[in-house]
Structure 1
Amino acid sequence: MSDPFMELLREMGLGRRGDPLLAQPARRFELPAEQEQAAMVLADLVTALDQICAARPFPKGSGIAAPQLGRPVAAAIVRPRGMADIALLNPCVVDHSDEIDVQWEGCLSCFQLRGRVSRSRAITVRWAMPDGQTVERRFTDGAARMVAHECDHLEGVLYLDRLVEGTQPIGIEEYTDGHRPWLYRPRSTSTTSVTEPLK
């Protein structure tokens, strides 16, 4: 029996793991010269994400990058839980915390799998607005993880390329943590630490 959600992703033409476009860096926009094109791509991403989120709940949040929709340009929409959409153009991670943690991640491009990925608990990201102005913002915990995940997409990297050493992805049918947001321990005061998610 076919999965209606997977059918939706196929109908949308969402790129799957193995698609060459998902394994190459996206082209950065020339802004503000390509302002209109950039705004249109962002609008298309929001529309696609609205459709996806209407079909399935995402308690941890959701996101989508332009290459997943066959657009080889550096644009992504991140929709963290409880936050407004973050529209990224030409994003770049300019700083990150030493403190990292390990959490389960998934991806629309390999939706039937989940894997454990280590990421910094805080990152600072610089990106452009369609008019060429730049924005710099620091994200923490779940939002940081989601923004980093989408920035990876724009560099041709999937979360499966970042699995914790020695681990393998599991099938979604084995994954039992999808109904709740990521949980985090209080931040460490030390300079470097690795934390596990709360059970």
Structure 2
Amino acid sequence: MSPILNIAQLGDPILRQPAQPIEDIHDLTIQTLIDNLLITLTQKHGVGLAAPQVSQPYQLLIVASHPNARYPQAPEMEPTALLNPHLVAHSDEVVSGWEGCLSVPGLRGLVPRYRAIEVEYTDRQGHFHRQQFTEFIARIFQHEYDHLEGLVFLDRIENNRHLMTDQEYLKQIV
């Protein structure tokens, strides 16, 4: 079984550095990292995870929406590894929604994001994809993509009054 990886916490310099493109998608190190990200994401009850969050400087993220303790109303989606992803288009409409982050434990913030996006990426088998995401799935992608740019959700919050603890979020919002 793959190991559960340590999550880099806010303040760790890796979270503020742009990630590097993956040159060889088939490299065993990258394939093992994908497996370990998937295991870690499941064990930590997340819906997305980016390589920089586990101290790996690669343009790799996982989108894996499913209802869980942290996001009880999340839609179901097959876990997907996106390598060297790019946001290529987005809707004009921006919506604010509550986000948390495994690298910023205990906090939620009201974050504005595009309602619909179009992305390009390579999957773990080396196949190119161009795909549209909407609503919560689009939000997950944008959140994780920010990690590849050296950003965290706190950088997107428009007002500090739009922060609350996880405990209060689960009590008030869910």
Match of 1:22 among 3, 7, 15: 15
Runs of 4 or more off by more than 6 Å in structure 1?
A: none
**Letter of the 1:116 counterpart:** L
Name the structure 1 match of 2:123.
Answer: 129
- Structure 1 stretches of 5 or more lacking a match? 1-10, 180-199
Structure 1 contact 31–131 (Cα < 8 Å) conserved: no
Q: Which has the higher strand share?
A: 2
**Letter of the 1:147 counterpart:** F
Cα distance in 1, alignment partners of residues 52 and 99 from structure 2: 19
Name the structure 1 match of 2:52.
Answer: 67
> What CA RMSD, in Å, does the superposition of the two structures yield over aligned residues?
1.9
How many correspondences in the alignment?
161
Secondary structure of 2:121 counterpart? strand
Task: Measure how far apart 1:124 and its partner are.
Answer: 0.5
Relative to structure 2, which stretch is displaced further, 166-175 or 81-90?
Answer: 166-175
Residues 37-93 of structure 1, C-alpha deviation per residue, up to 9 Å, x if partnerless? Answer: 32221111011112223xxxx6xxx11111111111111111113111121111110
Q: TM-score, normalised by structure 1?
A: 0.74
Secondary structure of 2:146 counterpart? helix
Report which of the two structures shows the higher radius of gyration computed on alpha carbons.
1
Name the structure 2 match of 1:44.
Answer: 36
Secondary structure of 2:29 counterpart? helix
Name the structure 1 match of 2:68.
Answer: none
**Identical amino acids, percent of aligned pairs:** 39
Q: 1:178 to 1:13 in 2, by over 3 A?
A: farther
Q: 1:130 to 1:35 in 2, by over 3 A?
A: farther
Name the structure 2 match of 1:91.
Answer: 85
Task: State whether structure 2 residue 96 is matched by structure 1 residue 102.
Answer: yes
**Letter of the 2:60 counterpart:** A
Cα distance in 2, alignment partners of residues 45 and 166 from structure 1: 31
Q: TM-score, normalised by structure 2?
A: 0.84
Cα distance in 2, alignment partners of residues 87 and 157 from structure 1: 20
Secondary structure of 1:113 counterpart? strand
